[in-house]
């Protein structure tokens, strides 16, 4: 299984904004039901796109500065970054097939 990197306010810039390739960030919180439903989807996406996409998670409760910086109002929110810039934002639960299709169109 591919690694899902856990982000903090302190490492977000280095791990996401300064990364050249595409990065998927899952903004979540432990109390959020749809976020817990997304967890296995995120793990599967990390494995499916290993080597093509960096997959990360940011706990919005523990890292409010970054969540506020990106205007995260609802969770789960998935943001796809490329060359440090936001490419697409998806809010709410998404099945793996839908998320994979969106990622494939952005990566190809």
Report the catalytic residues. 32, 35
> Of 100, 14, 105, 29, which is closest to residue 63 (Cα–Cα)?
29
Q: Checking phi first, is residue 83 left (phi over 0); if not, alpha (psi -120 to 50) or beta?
A: left
In the numeric block, the tokens 């990197």 are attached to 5
């Amino acid at each position: 299984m591919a690694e899902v990197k856990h982000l903090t306010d302190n490492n977000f810039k280095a791990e996401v904004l300064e990364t050249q390739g595409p990065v998927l960030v899952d903004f979540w919180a432990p109390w959020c039901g749809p976020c817990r439903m997304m967890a296995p989807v995120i793990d599967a996406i990390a494995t499916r796109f290993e080597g093509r996409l960096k997959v990360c998670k940011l706990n919005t409760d523990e890292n409010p500065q970054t969540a506020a910086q990106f205007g995260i109002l609802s969770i789960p929110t998935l943001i796809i970054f490329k060359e440090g810039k936001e490419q697409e934002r998806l809010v709410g639960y998404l099945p793996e097939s839908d998320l994979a299709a969106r990622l494939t169109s952005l990566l190809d």
